[in-house]
Amino acid sequence: MGDVVRDGLLAFWGTAAAKKVEALSGLEHARYLQGWGRPGDTAVLAEDLDRGRLGAAWYGPVTSEEPAYGFLDDQTPEVALAVAPDHRGRGAGGALLRELRDAAKSQGYSALSLSVEKDNPAPRLYERNSFVKPFETEDAWAMGADLFAG
């Protein structure tokens, strides 16, 4: 666990990220941050060394007893991702997802899931990063990525 600089982005995970992700604990993300720090909770933070914080992504385990919006099964942690509006479409989201995928693989997970509203442009980002749409609700898609697929 530590810091990684790749493509000009600084990604943190482990203890460093847990402290930094607390700043994102607004109401829209509260469901994904309550009880943060459990085994399996992982976060990455993208920072441009010149422009500052670009975004963050994190995942945590979810269970059938307390399923989240993108729940697939008890073994698949769910991802939440946020990129600053003025940095969207510039690669930060993809870099965050790649770092999360690498971290999840290293922790022994075989898949990740997420939920995205249908009017959000992010599904294209997720599909470019191997997420597929196994099911949908009226307003959103649940998406999953097999971490070991080609």
Query: Could you tell me if 2 and 99 are in contact, meaning their C-beta atoms sit under 8 angstroms apart?
Result: no
Could you tell me the CA-to-CA distances from 88 to 23, 84, 96 in Å, in that order? 19, 7, 12
What is the pLDDT, as a whole number, of residue 4? 42
Its pTM stands at 0.76
What is the pLDDT, as a whole number, of residue 131? 93
Helix spans in the chain (H):
15-21, 30-33, 92-106, 123-128
Residue 17 has pLDDT above 50, yes or no: no
In this predicted model, what pLDDT tens digit does every residue of 48-84 receive, in sequence order?
788 777 888 889 888 788 777 788 888 999 998 988 8
What is the pLDDT, as a whole number, of residue 31? 55
Mean pLDDT for the chain?
77
